[in-house]
Amino acid sequence: MIPTGTYGIAMTVANSNLTVGHRSFQQSATGSGATRTISPLFPYASGYQVWAGDCADADPAAWTGGSRGTVLASNPAATTSGSANLDAVDVVVKRSGVAVSGASIQATHAAGTGCTSGETLTTTTTTDSAGKLRLALPYGTWTIRATSGFRTATGSVTLDPVSATVPTLNVVLP
C-alpha cells in the first residue's frame, strides 16, 4: 500500500547545475497517483536523477553503497519517463500477543532527517486478519503509529536502499 499525506509523497530531482543540487516537488503540485509529471525542468544535457521523498535520508546516494539510479534525459520540448523506487516495511500490530485487524497506520519521517515538509503519510487501508499491512515508503527512518479504537502505539524502522530484505516492524498496542 502506498500511503498518502497532505501533499502525498514528494519527488526529488537532482542535477549539479541546480543551486542546491536538487529540488523537491509535492504531489499536489505535480499530479496524483503512482504516475507523476514534474515540469517545467530546464533541459540540462546531463539530465536528472530522481528519488521519492524530500528528506535528506530519502536520497539513496546518502547511504553507503546506495545509488540514485539511472540519469533521465532532459531534452527541450520532450518528455522523459523514469521511475523512483520506494522501499517496503511489513507492519504487524498485536495486542496481548493477538493480531489486531483493522488497525490504522500512520508513518512519519523521523525528526532530524532533513525533511522540508515534515512528511507524515497515512493510508485508508488497515491491517488484515493477521494484523499485517505492507507499506511502501521512501528510504529513511520512519516512526510508525498504529491505532485501534482508543489504543495507540508506535515503533521505528529504517528503510535502507542497500538492503534486499523487507523489514518487519512489530507494534504492540497496550
Per the CB < 8 A criterion, the answer to whether 160 and 141 are in contact is no
Q: How far is CA 90 from CA 44, 49, 147, 159, in A?
A: 39, 28, 16, 11
**Mean per-residue pLDDT of the chain:** 85
Residue 30: its pLDDT value, please? Answer: 42
Residue 79 pLDDT more than 90?
A: no
Tell me whether strands 87-95 and 168-173 are parallel, antiparallel or unpaired: parallel
Percent of the chain surpassing pLDDT 70: 83
pLDDT in tens, 1-58: 566 554 568 888 888 888 766 777 665 444 445 667 777 788 889 999 999 888 888 9
Percent of the chain surpassing pLDDT 90: 48
Q: Rounded mean pLDDT of 134-158?
A: 94
* Distance (Å, whole) CA 155 – CA 169: 7
pLDDT in tens, 53-73: 888 889 999 999 999 888 998
Q: What are phi and psi of 107, to 5 degrees?
A: -120, 130
Class of domain 87-173: mainly beta
Higher pLDDT: 105 or 37? It is 105
DSSP state of 165: S
Cβ neighbours of residue 128 closer than 8 Å, sequence gap 6 or more: 101
* Dihedral, 121, 123, 126, 132 alpha carbons, nearest 10: -50
